[in-house]
Amino acid sequence: MGTILDGAGLAKKIKGELHEKVKKLNKKPGLVVLLLGENPASKVYVKHKEMDAEEIGFLSKIERLPVTTTEEELLDCIERYNQNDDYHGILVQLPLPEHINEEKVLLAIRPEKDVDGFHPMNIGRLVSGNPLMTPCTPYGIMELLEEYKIELSGKTAVVIGRSNIVGKPIATLLTAKNATVTIAHSKTKNLAEVAKSADILVVAIGVAEMVDKSFVKKGAVVIDVGMNRNAEGKLVGDVKFDEVAPLASFITPVPRGVGPMTRAMLMKQTLEAFERTL
């Protein structure tokens, strides 16, 4: 059985360190989350973010908007917070209703307040090796690997998934640490064979328990970004944990793996955004 990468434990440690820093400040860092509609999963995620922010001592606000909110109204709301010096981080909870252009919304957030790290300018800075804000899930993965002193230089890494939120940025971050990276996806031929070449395997394909032991070589580090419900309603990742864990040297569980780290990095970047204003 591989070593469990305890994302929940590390996230708790990071939030504790942030809380100690915030206690010494004369002004609270501010985080606002814009939530459109009543998507149950989004409401749960936003509630967790609110709890994290309050626990650390941030000024925390959830701006709840009806699903009928127009694109123009949402853009106006974002601009109000762009101009509000009490809020240093702005997060628009995704997914958005179909009538709203997600790209236009992400472009509207000032890059220095884009604590999710999705603004094209922030992605460009990440790729050029001069990051300002980093997408939180890849950032959290890198922190987890560093905490457990997992060597990346010279290693072969395979990322299954090519999203702008996880796949592409984690490939960039791993490359910056001198790993040799392959991005694979649902159209990759012989996907299991490609994955099995990896010393570091990051799975972010969004299919419940798709990756079984045939994808994993003995001793690999396995990072499971997935968050799915199986047929029994149980929360599972993209990796068949019980099959893969005996082969892996390190592995993230679902839950309590990557998820808590994503939220911790959101909080860390909010404090960093505040500090840059001083």
For residue 93, what pLDDT is reported? 95
One of 3.40.50.720, 3.90.25.10, 3.40.630.10, 3.30.1490.20 is the CATH number of 136-259, namely 3.40.50.720
For residue 39, what pLDDT is reported? 86
Instruction: List CB contacts of 122: < 8 A, sequence separation 6 or more.
Output: 111, 114, 131, 132, 133, 134
Calpha distance 272→278 (Å, rounded): 10
DSSP line for 133-191: S--HHHHHHHHHHHHTT---TT-EEEEE---TTTHHHHHHHHHHTT-EEEEE-TT-TTH
pLDDT over 90 (residue 232): no
For residue 150, what pLDDT is reported? 98
| Active site (annotated) includes residue 49 | yes
Q: What are the φ and ψ backbone dihedral angles of 90, each rounded to 5 degrees? A: -125, 130
Calpha distance 23→15 (Å, rounded): 12
Average pLDDT in the chain: 96
How many angstroms separate the Cα of 198 from the Cα of each of 2, 4, 8, 84, 172?
16, 18, 25, 46, 16
One of 3.40.50.10480, 3.50.50.60, 3.40.50.10860, 2.170.140.10 is the CATH number of 25-110, namely 3.40.50.10860
> Choosing from 15, 49, 113, 155, which is the catalytic residue?
49
For residue 233, what pLDDT is reported? 85
| Active site (annotated) includes residue 177 | no
pLDDT over 90 (residue 127): yes
How many Cβ atoms are within 10 Å of 259's Cβ, its own excluded? 23
For residue 1, what pLDDT is reported? 82
As a whole number of Å, the CA-based R_g of the chain is 19
Task: Name the percent of the chain lying above pLDDT 90.
Answer: 94
Sequence ranges of the chain with CATH classification 3.40.50.10860: 25-110
List binding-site positions for NADP(+).
161-163
Q: Which two tokens stand for residue 239?
A: 């990796």
> Choosing from 6, 52, 114, 116, which is the catalytic residue?
116
For residue 41, what pLDDT is reported? 85
What is the model's pTM? 0.96
pLDDT over 90 (residue 176): yes
> Choosing from 6, 52, 93, 113, which is the catalytic residue?
93
Contact 12, 55 (CB under 8 A): no
For residue 198, what pLDDT is reported? 98
Amino acid at 98: E
| Active site (annotated) includes residue 24 | no
Sequence ranges of the chain with CATH classification 3.40.50.720: 136-259
pLDDT-based confidence at residue 230 (cuts at 50, 70, 90): confident
pLDDT in tens, 21-46: 999 999 999 999 999 998 888 888 99
For residue 38, what pLDDT is reported? 87
How many angstroms separate the Cα of 46 from the Cα of each of 18, 52, 162, 167?
19, 10, 25, 23
Q: Which two tokens stand for residue 102?
A: 């997600």
pLDDT over 90 (residue 231): no
